């Protein structure tokens, strides 16, 4: 039995099939993919959720190879205008400036060398300064650099956290920097350089197609999970119940408490779900009038948008992707509030006229209650590894508790491999 049809749950279903195990997968939505969501709009396959992948992310990259999914570089490097908003004005960055910005980011992430010496092993190095309890905001306040470089580094932190910086752990930036080979350039590339041409939906469909022994049921929200002497009973909102020897809970950390568990989950899991991780930003696609060219503009937290990048452009109109780490600063009356978005974009593209805004409101989506997983200060040591610790016949998977690329598609896939293996071993023993 698998609860949740994101990359973690679907990968586990395929891996169990490969091991000759049958599973029922129940997914609340009318589609697979969870926090990845490719939606066709205005002739473009838009990624409303997870988008970027990278060869340094071994699990997702092996899936890309396995299914021969085509990738492309995005943002398009040719003619890319790079800039940072500093003191309320846009400052263009030459290639040399961009290189200096990367150096500044490497300096900011210097503690990663001692804290995450071997990031793929999950070993945490010494932390004499108590950085695991420090927020990105506190760490940035102590960071000195020229104003443009400092604001660029802060913009990068906003892009990593995608939540308010005072609520996001400083170690999250260090961890991603370490996973990217302790390289600022590779950190940037891991976060935003390569995407799937046909979208994440192609990849998850390929994985699901090979889950040949799985019975995948969409539109099947789970209400309650009861462990009995001989197995697990999963009760759906519809009143139907499915019983199995084990269940894999592949739900986002933030929604664990929306399902009733009997017996209750560990206190750490319940507290983590109640506190939530800090990822609660807003990613949206914004159509503007005319050709605004190929731009990538980073901005510090004081700005309502923290990264603005061209998705497509033409003479009549252009599509931009806007990332807001703290949507409260955007003051949108609704997700598609064109007027407020237009006001917010003036510091980036003076005079720009917004025509429409589309996307998905993950933070208010009851099946996600957040974006990608960014731990709050302290959660790294307090929450992991309990989040993925088996409880009786319940196993746990998901990007939010992955070993390495936590918060990424890669982490979800990695957790799916691991949990399927663990379940198979458990059922064999
Ligand atoms: C805006 C945004 C941008 C992102 N950008 C990137 C990126 O560029 N690169 C990258 O690698 N990652 C990115 N991520 C993160 C990545 O998408 C996620 O970490 C990953 O997809 C999570 O997979 P998962 O299977 O662990 O969880 P999910 O995808 O959340 O899957 C969990 C599933 O459980 C279902 N569910 C919830 N409650 C119930 C219930 N009661 N009953 C049944 N089913 C239920 C949900 O509908 C969902 O399908 C982004 C995420 C967001 C939101």
370 ligand 1 Cβ < 6 A: no
Both 137 and 8 in a single domain? Answer: no
Q: Whose CA is nearest to atom 1 of ligand 1?
A: 49
Pocket test for ligand 1, best of 15, 26, 36, 193 (most atoms within 8 A of CB): 36
280 ligand 1 Cβ < 6 A: no
Other C-beta atoms lying within 10 Å of the C-beta of residue 332: 20
Which of 363, 381, 398 finishes a domain?
363
**What is the Cα–Cα distance from 397 to 388, expressed in whole angstroms?**
6
Question: Does 44 fall in a domain?
Answer: no
Question: Does 238 fall in a domain?
Answer: yes
- Ligand 1 centroid–CA 172 distance in Å is 18
Question: Which pLDDT value is given to residue 165?
Answer: 98
409: left (phi over 0), alpha (psi -120 to 50) or beta: alpha
Both 211 and 254 in a single domain? Answer: yes
Both 221 and 157 in a single domain? Answer: no
Question: Which pLDDT value is given to residue 331?
Answer: 85
Parts of the chain with a pLDDT under 70: none
CATH number at residue 64: 3.50.50.60
Q: What is the position in ligand 1's atom list of the atom closest to the CA of 368?
A: 30
Question: Does 9 fall in a domain?
Answer: yes
Both 176 and 320 in a single domain? Answer: yes
399 ligand 1 Cβ < 6 A: yes
Both 296 and 249 in a single domain? Answer: no
Tokens describing residue 391? 């409880």
Question: Does 46 fall in a domain?
Answer: no
CA-nearest of 174, 92, 212, 226 to 377 is 174
Which helix (H) or strand (E) segment holds residue 366: the answer is none
207 ligand 1 Cβ < 6 A: no
Which residue segment(s) compose the domain that 64 sits in?
2-39+55-72+199-277+370-428
29 ligand 1 Cβ < 6 A: yes
Both 84 and 127 in a single domain? Answer: yes
**What is the Cα–Cα distance from 155 to 159, expressed in whole angstroms?**
6
Q: What SS3 class is residue 210? A: coil
Q: What is the position in ligand 1's atom list of the atom closest to the CA of 407?
A: 19
**What is the Cα–Cα distance from 202 to 93, expressed in whole angstroms?**
36
Number of domains in the chain: 2
251-310 per-position pLDDT tens digit: 999 999 999 999 999 999 999 999 999 999 999 999 999 999 999 999 999 999 999 999
Both 174 and 303 in a single domain? Answer: yes
CB–CB of 163/326 below 8 Å? yes
174 ligand 1 Cβ < 6 A: no
**What is the Cα–Cα distance from 411 to 404, expressed in whole angstroms?**
6
CATH number at residue 91: 3.90.660.10
């Amino acid at each position: 039995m698998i609860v949740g049809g994101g990359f973690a749950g679907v990968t586990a279903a395929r891996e169990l099939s490969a091991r000759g195990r049958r599973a029922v997968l129940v997914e609340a939505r009318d589609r697979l993919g969870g926090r990845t969501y490719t939606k066709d709009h205005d002739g473009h396959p838009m990624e409303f959720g997870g988008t970027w992948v990278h060869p340094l992310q071994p699990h997702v990259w092996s899936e890309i190879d396995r299914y021969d999914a085509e990738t492309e570089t995005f943002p398009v490097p040719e003619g890319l205008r790079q800039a940072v908003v500093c003191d309320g004005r846009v400052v263009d960055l030459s290639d040399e400036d961009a290189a200096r910005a990367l150096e500044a980011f490497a300096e900011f992430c210097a503690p990663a060398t001692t804290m995450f010496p071997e990031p793929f092993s999950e070993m945490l190095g010494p932390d004499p300064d108590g950085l695991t309890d420090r927020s990105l905001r506190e760490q940035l306040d102590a960071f000195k650099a020229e104003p443009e470089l400092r604001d660029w580094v802060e913009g990068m932190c906003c892009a990593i956290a995608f939540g308010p910086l005072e609520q996001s752990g400083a170690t999250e930036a260090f961890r991603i920097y370490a996973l990217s080979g302790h390289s600022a350039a590779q950190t940037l590339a891991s976060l935003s350089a390569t995407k799937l041409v046909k979208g994440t939906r192609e990849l998850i469909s390929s994985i699901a197609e090979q889950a040949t022994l799985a019975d995948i049921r969409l539109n099947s929200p789970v209400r309650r999970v009861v462990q009995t002497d001989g197995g697990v009973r999963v009760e759906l909102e519809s009143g139907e119940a499915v019983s199995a020897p084990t269940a894999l809970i592949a739900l986002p950390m933030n929604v664990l408490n929306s399902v009733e568990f009997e017996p209750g989950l560990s206190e750490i899991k319940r507290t983590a779900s109640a506190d939530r991780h800090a990822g609660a930003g807003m990613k949206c696609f914004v159509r503007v009038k005319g050709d605004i060219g190929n731009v990538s503009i980073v901005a510090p937290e004081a700005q309502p948008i923290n990264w603005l990048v061209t998705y497509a452009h033409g003479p009549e109109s252009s599509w931009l992707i806007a990332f807001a780490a703290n949507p409260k600063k955007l003051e949108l009356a609704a997700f598609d509030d064109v007027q407020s978005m237009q006001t917010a974009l003036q510091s980036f593209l003076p005079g720009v006229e917004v025509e429409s805004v589309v996307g998905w409101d993950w933070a208010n989506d009851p099946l996600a209650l957040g974006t990608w997983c960014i731990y709050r200060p302290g959660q790294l040591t307090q929450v992991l590894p309990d989040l993925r610790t088996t409880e009786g016949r319940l196993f746990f998977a998901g990007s939010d508790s992955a070993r390495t690329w936590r918060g990424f598609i890669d982490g979800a896939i990695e957790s799916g491999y691991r949990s399927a293996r663990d379940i198979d071993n458990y059922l064999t023993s």
